[in-house]
Amino acid sequence: MIAQANGTISITGIGAYAPERVVTNDDLSELMDTSDEWIVERTGIRERRVAADDQALSDLALPAARAALEQAGTPGADVDLIIVATVTADMAFPSAAAILADELGADEAGAYDLSAGCTGFMYAVAQGYGMLAAGLARHALVVGGDVLSRILDWSDRRTAVLFGDGAGAVVLDRVSEGGFLGFELGADGSGGPQLYLPAGGSRAPASAETVAERKHFVQMNGREVFKFATRVLVSSAEKVLAECGKTVDDVDVYIPHQANIRIIDHAADKLGIPKEKIVVNVERYGNTSSGSIPLALADAQAEGRLQDGALVLMTGMGAGLTWGSGLIEWTANGRTP
Ligand code: COA
């Protein structure tokens, strides 16, 4: 799906939260046969955050959501739509979004979770945009976050070193000018087996066997996912830019999914985006799945990179296999009441 946006809707608040516990590559090398050198060279990751035992996804989402709402100047009670993009909700149901709505006092909000792997945040932002553009909501809260540490096989060095926990949130509002220019979303289900969680769903419900066979942990074909990621980061960005009548040279800030520095560098080279325009924090957080792009957005804002009028390109990709881009003309203070 590719579409040019036709309503002035923008991000008016950003919040992020990462758990306090830092796990370095050296910490991991005590658990498995790996090294700081290997991880840094192949991925650019130096450390990641891991949730405390009593923290579930909604506990990470709540501080991020509160910070985003505060920045937007939107009381929780005014939020009428909450979408949480995650593959590690507190439980299969109720949704993390419904839990969050209750905690925020968003009594009038429709609230649901969305599953699109690491692309979830981009899908959720596009969907929040659509609901506002159609007049079905006025103040949307979109959260991306995951607690992947709970579904990683900590004895599998091929996956465990890549991921971390974290969440970010944005508020979407109507604005007087600028805002989203377009989105491009896609899915190729034939690539599903390249990155999946085999058991715990209706195909292979939890049983003593699924647990013994370690089927409740992430399975990934790293090389195939690498090829897919480098391809779609480029194609999705090119499509959304073309649809919106923009070129790579128009982009001021590029926020790719933070999976691996080699994937980011490869895509940026192919696109022709200079390094100084790219937001990178993978070295501190690893791949936080749906939390990745909003955590990077929060960093970009803290560094003063989200200036009024800046053209910001965001692209995610992940399980599904899925991908999604959004192009936004940043509006620092453009909210219409
Ligand atoms: N530490 C040390 N050695 C490791 C290791 C680790 N954590 N993980 C794998 N290795 C070993 C492998 O066993 C292999 O050894 P062998 O040659 O003796 O068999 C060797 O390193 C090379 O493995 P390979 O899988 O070919 O490495 P790679 O260069 O493809 O890098 C990834 C592996 C996972 C870093 C890379 O494929 C990747 O980044 N893929 C994309 C993953 C991703 O981002 N997924 C999420 C997308 S949303």
State pLDDT tens for residues 150-199: 999 999 999 999 999 999 999 999 998 899 999 999 999 999 999 999 99
What is the number of domains present in the chain?
1
Q: What is the pLDDT of residues 190-207, one digit of tens each?
A: 999 999 999 999 999 999
Residue owning tokens 């960005």: 237
What per-residue confidence (pLDDT) applies to 333? 63
Q: Are 98 and 81 in contact (CB under 8 A)?
A: no
**Residue 313 reports pLDDT greater than 50:** yes
Say which CATH number the domain at 175 has: 3.40.47.10
Name which residue leads in pLDDT, 336 or 79. Answer: 79
Amino acid type, 6: N
71 CA distance to ligand 1 middle (Å): 40
222 CA distance to ligand 1 middle (Å): 6
Alpha carbon 104 to its chain centroid, in Å, reads: 21
What per-residue confidence (pLDDT) applies to 7? 65
**Residue 336 reports pLDDT greater than 80:** no
**Residue 3 reports pLDDT greater than 90:** no
What per-residue confidence (pLDDT) applies to 235? 98
Residue 299, token pair as written in the block? 């960093």
What per-residue confidence (pLDDT) applies to 337? 41
Taking residues 216-245, report their average pLDDT.
Answer: 97
SS (H, E, C) 93-155: CCCHHHHHHHHHCCCCCEEEEECCHHHHHHHHHHHHHHHHHCCCCCCEEEEEEEEHHHHCCCC
Please provide the average confidence, as pLDDT, over all residues in the chain.
96
Q: Using a 6 Å cutoff on CB, does residue 318 contact ligand 1?
A: yes
Taking residues 240-266, report their average pLDDT.
Answer: 97
- Tell me the residue range of the domain where 67 lies: 1-337
| Closest atom, ligand 1, to C-alpha of 117 | 48
What per-residue confidence (pLDDT) applies to 332? 73
**Residue 116 reports pLDDT greater than 70:** yes
Residue 334: pLDDT band (50, 70, 90) is low
43 CA distance to ligand 1 middle (Å): 9
| Closest atom, ligand 1, to C-alpha of 317 | 48
Amino acid type, 30: E
Name which residue leads in pLDDT, 335 or 12. Answer: 12
Catalytic residue among 139, 244, 257, 281: 257
What per-residue confidence (pLDDT) applies to 6? 62
Cα distances (Å, whole numbers) of residue 17 to 158, 224, 239, 323? 26, 31, 31, 24
